[in-house]
Structure 1
Amino acid sequence: MYSSLIFSIIAFGIAALGIITAGSRLARLADELADRTGMGEALFGVLLLAGVTSLPDFAATLSAAMDNRPDLAMSNVMGSMAVNLVFLGIADIVYRKANLEHAAASSVNLMLAGLLIVLLTLPLLAIVSPTIAEWGVHPVTPVIVVAYLFGLHLVLRTEAKPMWFPRLTSETVPDKPSPQLHGSLVKAWISFIVLAVLTGIAGWILMEAAKGIADETGLSDTLVGGLLTALATSTPELVTTIAAIRLGALTLAVSNIFGTNCFNMLVVAAADLGYPHGSIYHDMAPVQMTWGLVSILMTAILLLGLVRRETYGIGRIGFESALILTVYAVALSIIVVNG
């Protein structure tokens, strides 16, 4: 048992390190490709970078669901979304020039925050709804997919023809293409794809190691998923967000977090599809609702910050960042006590 636990811990650490290493490189490639393709940071962050940084969550969550471990699967993906929002608060602390939500003001980011709140309510409604599963899938699952696609359509239209423009200030950092871009575009795409595949594989290894840790230590799947795997599979978001800020790609940093969380709702849908015993929403512990409700609260707080656009706050961070860090700390305490 001890050697098996040691092996699981080593595998977990190696996979997490691989995710962190790939994530830092992905941010640089994403910023470069956003400029070269003309997509811009916001759209590239939503359409491509968000999907890539979600691959560890996708691989880990689907693996747990197919292995008939609903608590581990859902606590991982729901916990990851809460952690991702915390990363925006950490990013605000790292960016010292002004409040990050002020500097990275964007109509696309506002739309993404609203879309995320809508998507997060759907699995919570499924949990409190009657136990219905047609062909082993809850009716809410296809609704999540349709809502995501429609929301993505709205985001694209908002980017193409915005009806709301942020007021430009001396602290606003607009998305401007880099004047100096070198190297092959094809090589950049290949590197991006290779790193994406590696993060997905690392996510699967991570979850397999997490299962071993949970089995050998006796920790609950809820605790392991909400703490260990949620944090580890979310490291690409933290690494890419901090790297993007250091590159001056603030819009990419914020849209990556919101876009990743929206994409993670497709991971929730995939977990229900992959779960072999009907609806996954009704087989997981009620405590899983905590992460969903906390993520809605934190997203709403960030949305207020995006609209208010406080230039400076206490310690040069916005009120919204201080609030979401506090909310997460309280929620984490609740999960630990109930875990």
Structure 2
Amino acid sequence: MWQDLSLTVLIGAFLAAGAVIFLAGLRMTGLADKLADRTGLGEALIGGVLLGAATSLSGIVVSVTAALDGRSSLAFSNSVGGIAAQTVFLALADMFHRRSNLEHAAADLGNVFQGITLMVLLTLPFLAMTTPEVAIWAVHPVTFVIPLAYALGLVAGRQVQQSPMWTPVDTCDTKTDQPEEEDEETRKTSTTRLFLTFALLMSLMGGAGYVIARTASELGDRAQVSDTLVGVLATAVVTSLPELVTTVAAVRRGALQLAVGGIIGGNTFDTLFLVASDVAYREGSLYHAVLPQDYFWIVSALLMTGILIGGLILRQRRGPGRIGGESMLLLLIYAGSVAVQVLVAG
């Protein structure tokens, strides 16, 4: 079917699916903020779990679809490339918070702990790569460890939120998570309806992710571009648009913990793409089927996450260009990684 479509139709479908992801992500931010207040779970947790998982749905559809087609590099690079892209989105969002550095104002222990969990999860694929190619039902044992580590991280993160052993120092620039007063229309909307609307938007994003996977694969084949490059610079960026939209929108709404938590939580959830992809990839271990340049993006993501955590702990008030020093580093590292990837692919 997709092979029979013209180049114009393929590009149009790709852009239309990207627009659906963009608009659905924009609507999700407001809903997530309201649900954080309604449920009392807080912006950091809702951003890290509910919003992070929801905005990642289109990406996981892309990775699973690619894995089912036997395109291991596209499935893998879409996941880890999305983590790097979404991390750099925080640097872009920092530009919209003019009062101070975003990482300073959004101080939250839960986000720091989530970032550490993400770094642990990102090391597990390396563990798989450096061990013999063992598979159980064509699935590598590390694939069973990743969701367990993810779940334990969520449980421990909740404990950190409820009974913190230390708290960040409040300054005049710190923006704490305070429930907002709901308008008349929102008060009339039940929590159940808010969740149902959220679920509907997730479904739209999942369908759009399928279209992105099919059209991007076909466009890459026609242009004779490697799956790694397609995954990192096309599908990963487009399916990550909700994170950019929700992060900037959350910053402009003053929901700073939601903005940072949504990115870190979304990145943590994105490691589960590898679990789903390894299960869907029926030719053996996904971790041994991919190319070295695919693992290059895990290194980039680890480096960027470490710098982000350092920024959350250091809490620089202002940096160069009125953004944090860590934001500047994130932009430079991502740009450098893209340049290296293009040179390798060329």
Do the structures match in fold with TM over 0.5? yes
Aligned with 2:51 (options 44, 49, 52): 49
Q: What residue number does 2:107 align with?
A: 105
Q: Which amino acid aligns with 2:62?
A: A
Structure 2 residue aligned with 1:193: 199
1:158 aligned residue: 160
Query: Which residue in the other structure is 2:242 paired with?
Result: 236
Does the Cα contact within 8 Å between 2:49 and 2:262 map onto a contact in 1?
A: no
Aligned equivalent of 1:40: 42
Aligned twin of 1:184: 189
Question: Equivalent residue for 2:149?
Answer: 147
Structure 2 partner of 1:21 = 23
Secondary structure of the 1:163 match is coil
Runs of 4+ off more than 4 Å: none
How far off its partner does 1:3 sit?
5.4
Segment drifting more, 208-217 vs 78-87: 208-217
Q: How far apart in 2 are the matches of 1:273 and 1:45?
A: 27
Query: Structure 1: where are the runs of 5+ without partners?
Result: none
How many pairs align? 339
Q: What is the CA-CA distance between 1:2 and the residue it aligns to?
A: 9.5
User: Matched residues in 2 for 1:11 and 1:67: separation?
Assistant: 20
2:117 paired residue number: 115
CA distance in 2, matches of 1:319, 1:307: 13
Helix, strand or coil: the match of 2:95?
helix
Whole-angstrom CA distance in 2 between matches of 1:78 and 1:6: 29
Query: What is the CA-CA distance between 1:249 and the residue it aligns to?
Result: 0.4
TM-score when normalising by structure 2: 0.96
Taking the aligned partners of 2:96 and 2:335, their CA distance within structure 1 comes to 19
How far apart are the structure 2 equivalents of 1:283 and 1:5?
A: 30
Residue in structure 1 matched with residue 214 of structure 2 by the alignment:
208
Q: Which of 331, 338, 342 pairs up with 1:332?
A: 338
Instruction: Assess if the C-alpha contact under 8 Å between 2:86 and 2:244 holds in 1.
Output: yes
> CA separation in 2, counterparts of 1:79 and 1:5?
25
TM-score by length of 1: 0.98
Amino acid at match of 1:70: S
User: What is the SS of the residue equivalent to 1:97?
Assistant: coil
Structure-1 separation of matches of 2:9 and 2:94: 37
Q: Deviations over 1:9-63 (max 9, x none)?
A: 1110000000000011000111111111111111111221111011011100000
1:183-236 deviation digits (Å, cap 9, x = unpaired): 312332221111111111111111111011011111111111110101000001
Equivalence map 1:243-262=2 (5 Å): 243-262=249-268
Letter of the 1:209 counterpart: T
Structure 1: distance between partners of 2:96 and 2:227: 32
Alignment correspondent of 2:11: 9
Unmatched tracts of structure 2, length 5 or more: none
Supply the AA of the counterpart residue of 2:200. Answer: V
